[in-house]
Amino acid sequence: MTKTKICGLKTAEDISYVNECMPDYIGFVFLKGRQRYISPQDAAALRKILNPAIQSVGVFVNEPVENAAALVNNGIIQIVQLHGQEDASYALKLKDLCKCPVIKAFIIKTGDDIRNALNYPCDYLLLDNGLGTGKTFDWSLIPDISKPFFLAGGLTPENVRDAIALTRPYGVDTSSGVETDCRKDYNKIKAFINAVKNEQ
């Protein structure tokens, strides 16, 4: 069954939505200056009210590896998602420090981008159009690959079923696709998760 991930949660209201709709994963964005940035302290408070069955993912861009590992070891997140220029040695050091699963995001513009991504020492790939652009990329570029991947970029309740049918990802990841006026929208979150479940 395709997993669901709702990224960019910031408020207790957001948490109440996902606690009711039950995605498999949620994401906290730890990149200062971004619209959906959340501080480690606020993320810790939200984690306490998040249903423990939902895994929390920390999204980082070129963050010192010790900082990301500390959030895992403190129980704030369970998975680290990397969106910067973190090289293979970064991922290996992170795993040594906190033994957590790692998701590495790659911007996909050509088939070669995916083939190059397969060499990265991570547990999951995240195939995207770019960090938070809210736009899709050409899904037909994705070959039949054995490494599990999350599909991201422009996914909405309206197009996620087509995306799953074409690419067969491990999971689907959305943020702006379930927002109205830059705020998480309960009805869109519910519709997105229901669309994924109905595709199975």
Could you tell me how far CA 167 lies from the centroid of its own chain? Answer: 17
- Return all residues near 86 (Cβ < 8 A) that are at least 6 apart: 60, 62, 104
Between CA 158 and CA 139 the distance in angstroms is 16
Q: Is 21 a catalytic residue?
A: no
What pLDDT is stored for residue 88 in this prediction?
96
Do the beta carbons of residue 75 and residue 122 sit within 8 Å? no
**CATH for 3-199?**
3.20.20.70
At position 157, the amino acid (one-letter code) is P
What is the structure's pLDDT at 184? 98
> CA–CA separation, 96 vs 138, rounded Å?
35
Residue 121 is encoded by which pair of tokens?
């020492």
Eight-class DSSP state of 85:
S
Q: What is the pLDDT along the chain (200 residues), one digit of tens a residue?
A: 999 999 999 999 999 999 999 999 999 999 998 889 999 999 999 999 999 999 999 999 999 999 999 999 999 999 999 999 999 999 999 999 998 999 999 999 988 898 889 999 999 999 998 755 667 888 998 988 889 999 999 999 999 999 999 999 999 999 999 999 999 999 999 999 999 998 65
Residue with tokens 């993320």: 43
Dihedral angle, C-alpha 23, 24, 29, 35, nearest 10 °: -20
The pLDDT value given to residue 77: 98
Q: Tell me the C-alpha distance between 39 and 90, whole Å.
A: 22
Is residue 122 annotated as a catalytic residue, yes or no? no
100, 122, 128, 173: which is the annotated catalytic residue? 128
Indicate which residue of 7, 21, 98, 100 is catalytic. Answer: 7
pLDDT at position 131 is: 59
Pairing of strands 124-128, 149-151: parallel
Contact 189, 174 (CB under 8 A): no
